[in-house]
Structure 1
Amino acid sequence: MLLTPPDPHEALLTFVAASLLALVHIFAGHLRAHIGGIPRSGWLSMASGASVAYVFLFLLPELAHSEATLANLFNDSNWLQSDHAYLAALIGLAVFYGLERMTCVSRRKQTPDQPLPGFWVHIGLFVLYNALIGYLLLEQLQEEAVAGLAIYTSAMMLHFLVNDYGLRHHFPRGQSSYGRWLLAASALGGWTLSMLVQVNEAVLAVFLAFIAGAVILNTLKEELPAERESRFSAFLLGAFLYALLLLSI
């Protein structure tokens, strides 16, 4: 976990990583002609598979190591004796499931020519989500070295692409006009905060766990609906190739 203040080399590496994350949201719209539409693009399904592989083979095992830290934090609690990290992951999944459910209910109540409500609620939560991901760039570098930072950044770039497409599907005008810039800025904002403010290991573990649960939900909600006509073979290929990469490092 994050133990020492960043030096200039760490600041530069993580700034580059944060900039790459931001660029995904800025330029994802230019790829819409190639990856948008129904049936779902194989590239998006591959990106989803890679994101899920990263969570199960990298983030969740890391949560197991974080469990002791969180157990010490709650050592005086009678109702939180174990599995603190996984509880945070469950909360992350539940928060974004509730957000998606709100969208589905609103969509059923709207006529086709009406804009879908809830854009700013979505963007607000995804801004916080992206900021957490940007904040954890430094932790990944200090804990896992450059290889860990590269893996984390590449996985989150693929995940951001999937999220951006989902937001454009629900809110095409808002995401193109405002959303992409706010989401790009939030990734850089999270990185900036990591340069200025350091939190303890327990808080970092909670952040990481929350992201793990949210990544699973945000990825699968884009793949599972029947109307998306997703490509299981591409999803499986993306998961398999990224798993091979993780296991080879």
Structure 2
Amino acid sequence: MAYVFIHLWPQIAESQQLFSKEVQWLQGSLLHHALYLTALGGLIIFFSIYRLVSHIDSERKESVESGLFWAHLGFFFLYNFIIGILVTYQSRWVSSMFVFFIAFGLHFIANDWHLRLHHKYIYDKYGRFVLSISIVLGYLFGTWISFPEYIVGVLEAFITGSMVLNVIKSELPSEKSGSLEGFLTGVAGGASLFILL
């Protein structure tokens, strides 16, 4: 949560200014907010996939499980692949990379738990390996291909929108479970780390 609000949203604001300068046809149009629209698009896509998965009733589950699993996994493959690319554009400072690693490590653990909850044995058999490979492939892709800074901003915007819903849906404690004290401690600690970086 701290990573999204303290690092990603300010980064999108900065990237939007750069994007507007680099892509001249955006001047004076509704697309002047292109990266915010991209973030919204990421949120909408993630929410749509989540709704499809959560609205399967028990009678239909067997007939659609495989296709739905691969659609769900396909989105997370893209999500992790883009995060892998973004890792190559992070600060080269060891402390920055360490905080980035901790933030995304915890985020990936929550994603793993959520996917295992919905897809059970099929996720354990295929999904976890596919998603592990996706991060590595994204990282390798990011090291081989150099993107203009404004394109990196577009990728970050998409991930930010997806991550906002993902964090709220999967990582915040519900009203009846979880620890408010633990949540507040985690947010305060994470926010402090990102402010110090």
Q: 1:105–1:147: structure 2 CA closer, same or farther, 3 Å change rule?
A: same
C-alpha distance in structure 1 between counterparts of 2:195 and 2:3, whole Å: 10
Residue 116 of structure 2 corresponds to 168
From 134, 139, 143, give the equivalent of 2:84.
134
The number of equivalent residue pairs is: 194
- Please list the CA deviations of residues 43-80 of structure 1 after superposition, one character each: whole Å capped at 9, or x if unmatched: xxxxxxxxx11110111111111111211244214533
2:110–2:171 contact (8 Å) kept in structure 1: no
Q: Which residue of 2 aligns with 1:123?
A: 73
The amino acid that maps onto 1:68 is Q
Partner of 2:46 in structure 1?
Answer: 96
Q: Distance in 1 between matches of 2:191 and 2:174?
A: 26
Structure 2, unaligned stretches of length 5 or more?
none
Find out whether 1:80 has 2:35 as its counterpart: no
**Matched residue of 2:25: which SS?**
coil
**Two-structure CA RMSD over aligned residues (Å):** 2.3
**2:145 paired residue among 197, 209, 212:** 197
Q: 1:154 aligns with which of 88, 92, 102?
A: 102
Asked if 2 retains the 8 angstrom alpha-carbon contact of 1:73 and 1:202, the reply is: yes
* Cα distance in 2, alignment partners of residues 228 and 162 from structure 1: 18
Q: 1:91 to 1:115 in 2, by over 3 A?
A: same
Compared with structure 1, are the counterparts of its residues 87 and 180 closer, same or farther at alpha carbon in structure 2 (3 Å cutoff)? same
For the 8 Å contact 2:4–2:163, the answer to whether it is kept is yes
SS in 2 for 1:150: helix
Report the TM-score when normalising by structure 2. Answer: 0.88
Kept after mapping to 2: 8 A contact 1:74/1:81 = no
* Aligned partners of 2:173 and 2:183 also within 8 Å: no
CA contact (8 A) 1:222 1:228 kept: no
C-alpha distance in structure 1 between counterparts of 2:41 and 2:71, whole Å: 17
For 2:158 and 2:194, how far apart are their aligned partners in 1? 21
**Contact map agreement 1:89 1:210 (CA 8 A) in 2:** yes
SS of 2:89's partner is helix
CA separation of 1:232/1:111 partners in 2, compared to 1, >3 Å: closer, same or farther? farther
Aligned to 1:140, the other structure's residue is in SS state coil
Return 66-75 or 165-174, whichever deviates more.
66-75
In the TM superposition, what whole-angstrom CA distance separates every residue of 1:167-198 from its partner, at most 9, and x where no partner exists?
01101111111000000000000011112111
Q: For the Cα contact (< 8 Å) 2:81–2:136, is it kept in 1? A: yes
User: How does 1:219-238 map onto structure 2 within 5 Å?
Assistant: 219-223=167-171, 229-238=177-186
Using the size of structure 1 for normalisation, the TM-score is 0.71
Structure 1: state its 5+ residue gaps: 1-51
Task: Look up the equivalent residue of 2:109 and give its one-letter code.
Answer: L
Superposition pairs of residues 169-184 of structure 1, within 5 angstroms: 169-184=117-132
- Paired residue secondary structure (1:139): coil
Judged with a 3 Å threshold, the aligned counterparts in structure 2 of structure 1 residues 224 and 103 are, in CA distance, closer, same or farther, namely farther
Output the amino acid matched with 1:57.
Answer: I
Q: Contact (CA 8 Å) 1:166, 1:222: kept in 2 or not?
A: yes
How much does 1:223 deviate? 4.5
Structure 2 distance, partners of 1:159, 1:236, is 16
Distance 2:160 2:144 in 1: 24
Is 1:64–2:13 an aligned residue pair? Answer: yes
